[in-house]
Amino acid sequence: MLRGDLTGDDLEKYVEERVVTTTLEKVLNQARAHSIFPATFGLACCAIEMMSTVSPRYDIARFGAEAFRASPRQADLLILSGRVSIKMAPVVRRIYDQMLEPKWAISMGACSSSGGMFQNYAVVQGADKFMPVDVHVPGCPPRPEALLYGFTKLQQKIMGNADPGWRSRYNAHGTEEWARGGPASQPSEEAIEAYAKAREVLGA
Ligand code: SF4
């Protein structure tokens, strides 16, 4: 387009439709969120599901995170994929400390998030007891899709649009949002009845 081809409102409209303005911070966060290097580090059975996310079937490369790094110095995401024993916790923490900022951690599976079925003296009852965790992925094991979902949540967080989660969307506490009935959740009569019976059985 040559100077003078468009003027006035036409020129304003042309520019509005074609020029994008942003901030350096947003560009950096976009780049960070879409070029994450996870550490090649597995703890237990969940690690098998984590490994499969790089396979063609699940293809974490779609989100820019296929390059798992074998050194914490080159990684910025630690996926805690499995139970963390008391003996292993200091090692995990050291690996996390050796990663350079900015860095993130996903707790994958019931074991690393809460100890899972291993409620005993040998297993840490939740990795966030000894290191910061950004996203918890539930399941035993979580399917690769679940890990990818958690990964996209982390990306949102990095880009500054952290999702507060379903509890805030449904006005929920614990797992009882369907029976409590917030503004966005109206339980059916049957649901309320079933819930009351369940509480009777539990003596709650
Ligand atoms: S959550 Fe389940 S699959 Fe994952 S480490 Fe624990 S027992 Fe294994």
- Summarised one tens digit per residue, pLDDT across range 122-144 is 999 999 889 999 999 999 999 99
**CATH of residue 139:** 3.40.50.12280
- Computed from CA positions of residues 135, 174, 193, 199, in that sequence, does the dihedral angle turn out positive or negative? positive
- Domain encompassing residue 34: 27-163
Asked if 105 and 168 sit in the same domain, the reply is no
Question: Has residue 18 been placed in a domain?
Answer: no
Asked if 152 and 81 sit in the same domain, the reply is yes
Asked if 157 and 181 sit in the same domain, the reply is no
Residue 68: the pLDDT is 93
Q: State which of 83, 92, 106, 137 you would mutate to test the pocket of ligand 1, scoring each by most atoms of that ligand within 8 A of its C-beta.
A: 83
Asked if 192 and 118 sit in the same domain, the reply is no
Asked if 157 and 175 sit in the same domain, the reply is no
Question: Has residue 90 been placed in a domain?
Answer: yes
Nearest CA to ligand 1 atom 7: 140
Asked if 70 and 120 sit in the same domain, the reply is yes
Residue 176: pLDDT band (50, 70, 90) is: low
CA of 115 to the centre of ligand 1 (A): 9
Asked if 77 and 175 sit in the same domain, the reply is no
- Please count the structural domains in the chain: 2
Report which of residues 4 and 130 the model is more confident about: 130
Question: Has residue 16 been placed in a domain?
Answer: no
Do residues 30 and 64 touch, judged by C-beta distance below 8 A?
A: no
Please give the share of the chain, as a percent, with pLDDT higher than 90.
59
Asked if 159 and 170 sit in the same domain, the reply is no
CA of 139 to the centre of ligand 1 (A): 8
Asked if 94 and 176 sit in the same domain, the reply is no
Question: Has residue 21 been placed in a domain?
Answer: no
Q: State which of 41, 43, 45 you would mutate to test the pocket of ligand 1, scoring each by most atoms of that ligand within 8 A of its C-beta.
A: 45
Asked if 175 and 88 sit in the same domain, the reply is no
Question: Has residue 8 been placed in a domain?
Answer: no
Residue with tokens 């080159």, as numbered in its chain: 74
- C-alpha pair distances (Å), 203 with each of 176, 181, 197: 16, 22, 10
Asked if 99 and 197 sit in the same domain, the reply is no
* pTM of the shown model: 0.76
Asked if 52 and 89 sit in the same domain, the reply is yes
Whether 4 shows a pLDDT value over 90: the answer reads: no
